[in-house]
Each structure stands twice: as structure tokens, then as C-alpha cells.
């Protein structure tokens, strides 16, 4: 049996599945008696859409000090939303008007998100994650779904 965790998106509302996974990780730690148990230990693959994709990468980010182990706890993944949510999901009334509330263009500027992700992920790439992953997104300009997999990233000679 293959165990796949799928995490929904939703902008700053990503804190909701994040908090649920904090609770689940605590249950795993209590049941196993292992205080170092992580979400990644209990799933064969993690997939996420949009902000769920960011959480996916947090749960699978390798720890340089412990090869093969995830760097972040579930609580640390949620911290990005608590500590940096205003920077990442900053939007103004003016931006809402220009983008028609996210219909014509992306709802948020990418600057805050890129800065926050660089602070947490450094130069880690999808191919470096500790387990198979799938991150889905939507390309507003091309009007189509985009799929990023760890497998594709590992086999891409240009990445």
C-alpha cells in the first residue's frame, strides 16, 4: 500500500491544513514514542496545490545535518504563515482592482513569497527533497495547470 498525503492550497488559509498536520505529527510522536517523528516518516509521497505545495516542500526539505531526514517540524512549517504571512500574501485594494480580484492576474506579488522561500529553502531544489513529491499550480497567463514532480526534476538535465 502506498500512502500519499495531499494538501490543498488556499493562500494564507494554508495555515489550516498546516495546523491539522501539526496535530497529526504530535499524534505520530506520541504513538511511536519518537519525539523526532515527522510527517514525512508516515507517507510515501506528499502532494500539494499552491500553498499546499509550499507545505509539501517544508515537510520534505532535507536536513543537511541529518541526511535523509526532514529539516523542519510541522510547527516550523506553520511558522512561515504566522511570521511571514503579511509579507507573502500582501495585497492592496489597488492590486485587487487591477487584477480583478485575481481573475486577470495573480492575486499577490511574488516578491514577498520569493524572499520568504529563499530564507527557508536556500538553494534547495525539488529534486533534493527526501521523498517523492508533486506540486501543482495554475499558470494564469497560459490558463492551464502546471505539475512539478521530484521525478521530473531529477531527470531534467538542465535543472
Q: Which three cell numbers stand for residue 18?
A: 498546516
Cell of 145: 495547470
**pLDDT value at position 52?**
92
**pTM value?**
0.81
Contacting residues for 119 by C-beta, under 8 A, at least 6 apart: 84
Instruction: Check pLDDT > 70 for residue 104.
Output: no
Range of the domain at 100: 4-155
Could you report the per-residue pLDDT of 55-96, keeping only the tens digit for each?
A: 999 999 999 999 899 999 999 999 887 887 777 766 655 555
Of 25, 63, 22, the closest CA to residue 41 belongs to 25
The enclosing domain of 139 has a CATH number of 3.40.1090.10
Number of domains, the chain: 1
What's the chain's average pLDDT? Answer: 84
Tell me the H-state helices in the chain.
15-32, 51-60, 74-88, 93-99, 110-121, 150-155
**What is the structure's pLDDT at 13?**
76
DSSP 54: H
pLDDT exceeds 70 at position 97: no
Amino acid at each position: 500500500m502506498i500512502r500519499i498525503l495531499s494538501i490543498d492550497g488556499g493562500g494564507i488559509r494554508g495555515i489550516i491544513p498546516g495546523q491539522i498536520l501539526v496535530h497529526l505529527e504530535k499524534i505520530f510522536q506520541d504513538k511511536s514514542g519518537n519525539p523526532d517523528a515527522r510527517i514525512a516518516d508516515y507517507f510515501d509521497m506528499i502532494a500539494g496545490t499552491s500553498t499546499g505545495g509550499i507545505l509539501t516542500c517544508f515537510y520534505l526539505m532535507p536536513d543537511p545535518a541529518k541526511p535523509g531526514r526532514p529539516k523542519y517540524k510541522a510547527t516550523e512549517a506553520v511558522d512561515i504563515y504566522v511570521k511571514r504571512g503579511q509579507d507573502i500574501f500582501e495585497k492592496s485594494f489597488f492590486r485587487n482592482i487591477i487584477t480583478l480580484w485575481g481573475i486577470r492576474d495573480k492575486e499577490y506579488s511574488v516578491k514577498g513569497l520569493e524572499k520568504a522561500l529563499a530564507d527557508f529553502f536556500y538553494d534547495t531544489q525539488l529534486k533534493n527533497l527526501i521523498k517523492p513529491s508533486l506540486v501543482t499550480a495554475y499558470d494564469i497567463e497560459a490558463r492551464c495547470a502546471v505539475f512539478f514532480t521530484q521525478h521530473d526534476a531529477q531527470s531534467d538535465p538542465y535543472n
